[in-house]
A and B are shown apart, each in its own frame.
Chain A
Amino acid sequence: MRLTKDDVKGIADYARIALDESSLDAMTEYMNSAIDLLDEIKQFDIEGVEPTFHPIGSLVNVMGDDVEIDTRALSLDEALHNAASTHERSFRVPSILGDDGGDR
């Protein structure tokens, strides 16, 4: 299956990357050539094989004690330090719903 320019535009929207019209052709070409490289995995018999999502198969969910770990907690100033735009004790963002209230 070949991806079309429209498919790639849709993927970019999903990935939240604002690709401009001029870069879509090159991206479409790249995506199709990368997908060709992936086809090899389809040539093996994987019927009945369990997937390995992680190299340490015996992993179990690790639950921590419900206590505050001071060494990991950032102070408010630290937490805001790397943000481009802040307001008092908060990160500042533009309208989430958009002007028309209909954006994602």
Chain B
Amino acid sequence: MELEKLSATELTARFSAKEISAKEIAEATLTNIATKEPQVDAFLELSHELACARAKELDEALAKGEELGPLAAVPMAYKDNMHLVGTRTTCASKMLGNYDSLFNASCVERTLQAGAIPVGKTNMDEFAFGSSTESSAFKTTKNPWDLSRVPGGSSGGSAAAVAAKEVPLALGSDTGGSIRQPASFCGVVGLKPSYGVVSRYGVVAFGSSLDQVGPFARTVEDVALAMDALVAGGRDAFDSTSQAVVPNFREALLHPILEEARPRRVGIIPELLQQEALTSEVKAALIGTMEALEAAGCELHELSLEHMKAAISAYYVIAPAEAFSNLARFDGVRYGYQVAGAKTLAEQSAKSRALGFGEEAIRRQMLGAYILSSGVYDELYVPAQKVRTLITEDYTKAFEQVDVILMPSAPTVAWKFGTMDDPTAMYASDLFTISNNICGNCGISVPVGLGKDSHMPIGVQLQGPAFKDAELLRWSAAIETLRCEIAGIDPLGEPSFGGVA
């Protein structure tokens, strides 16, 4: 039995049916990861001891007939900005290179409560600043579909680990597209839940009004499984923005949207298809998906989101400003990198920050410091928050007309290493994902196939209204069902790399 090919849902079912032990699952997973890691480099740290101890507990609990959680015996990976006791939490930064987790992040804790086997921490762009995972201070994660290409980012390690079948499930975080874009690049499903659905407690903050944790998996059903575990237990008292959400994600999938009699309305935005940055193969994938939905009986409605074009500007005001204030805590005193020999505290902080942070982390904080400085604050920061209101109103109006909006996840497929060297050009590649974070709505990338030219995965993005996450998953399942009927692209298939299928 090839365990790596099983979904999380299948794995936990086989474990519960006593067809396979948690020990076997943990050992097979770690062996499999050891084989693939030299090529993929998705992980910053593997947690062998935690995984083996957890497997032992699970096997004992099953033998005693104890009740098991929905993720029982599912191997999971966590982005390295999430605290997991027994591992370091480095944010892929030299600043936190030796930082030991002192408590579990709530999202991590809830998956552990649900029975997950923690196998390790995944690579990311440093402090989540980036779209390719190349700004990691420690290693370069490769795209399992083509090792000469980036996995996307910032949650590139989590996306690559799932695509390479190292784990069936991983958590990432999304501040401007950091789950959906790598999901698209790696041919996996990636959900950015509505803001407030998943607790941010214990996840190193980037943009506090934008950050949201969500799962990567190879099937929509597995994403639903993870979501049920992440929201179980209601609102998290440790995150004041956490909301109570009913864990009905798997239940929602039992009622396929394509079998409903009511009008099912999909919004499309014609002006987005005219974007210069959009490549012909991504455009073909989107048009193919639109046609397949229409053929399946859905109505397509043309929408205009007038202020969406300002989303990138608004985001690159709001996100660096929030990042600058969040990252001010790294002063090298209580934790983090500290230079030796400084004469004053101010000198020690300034030098520790200059040497502990990488280039992009410094750039973002410099931009944030500028935006929050006197005068500029009124000229840029406040207007950006007003534009945020306008973008949110556009979406509110749009969702009165449609159930869900279909658009690309990213304008291109995964690019080759070394071909994106202008940081501000990379910022512009987030144009389809960013508005979702600005409004707090939910969004997901669902893989539809391989581009005809690049033979690389392409995902389409669905965006839904805030707190309609379960509905969004029903729509995602519909796209998954229609996948083989989408014209203009090649079938998704599976990645094979370096002779390891």
Contact = CB atoms under 8 A, between A and B. Distances in A.
Given A82-B98, A98-B344, A37 B353 contact: no
Contacts of B127: none
Given A44-B307, A49-B390, 13 more contacts: A17-B366, A18-B347, A18-B351, A18-B354, A27-B363, A41-B317, A43-B310, A44-B390, A51-B386, A51-B389, A55-B439, A62-B240, A103-B344
B182 interface: no
Interface string A61-92: 01010000001101000110111110000010
Interface string A1-41: 00100001001111111111000000100110111111111
A12 B366 contact: yes
B399 interface: no
Nearest to A14: B369
B313 A41 contact: yes
B161 to A, nearest CB: 26
B334 A82 contact: yes
Interface residues of A, number: 59
A18 B339 CA distance: 12
Contact of B383 (A3, A46, A54): A46
Contact of B102 (A16, A19, A62, A78): A78
Interface of B: 98-100, 102-103, 195-196, 209, 237-238, 240-241, 243, 307, 309-310, 312-314, 316-317, 324, 328, 331-338, 342-351, 353-354, 357, 362-363, 365-371, 373, 380, 382-390, 392, 423-424, 427-428, 438-440, 466
A53 B384 CA distance: 9
A93 B79 CA distance: 32
Nearest to B332: A84
A93 B174 CA distance: 35
Contacts, number: 178
Contacts of B328: 16
Contacts of B337: 84
B307, B336, B369, B466 interface centre (most CB from chain A within 10 Å): B369
Nearest to B350: A18
Contact of B389 (A15, A52, A72): A52
A40 B312 contact: yes
B209 A11 contact: no
Contact of B343 (A54, A64, A84, A99): A99
A19 B354 contact: yes
B313 A56 contact: no
Contacts of A20: 354
B99 A82 contact: yes
A71 B236 CA distance: 13
Contact of A84 (B338, B365, B392): B338
Contact of B316 (A37, A64, A91, A96): A37
Contacts of B354: 17-20
Contact of A44 (B367, B387, B424, B439): B387
Nearest to A93: B345
Contact of B310 (A40, A78, A97): A40
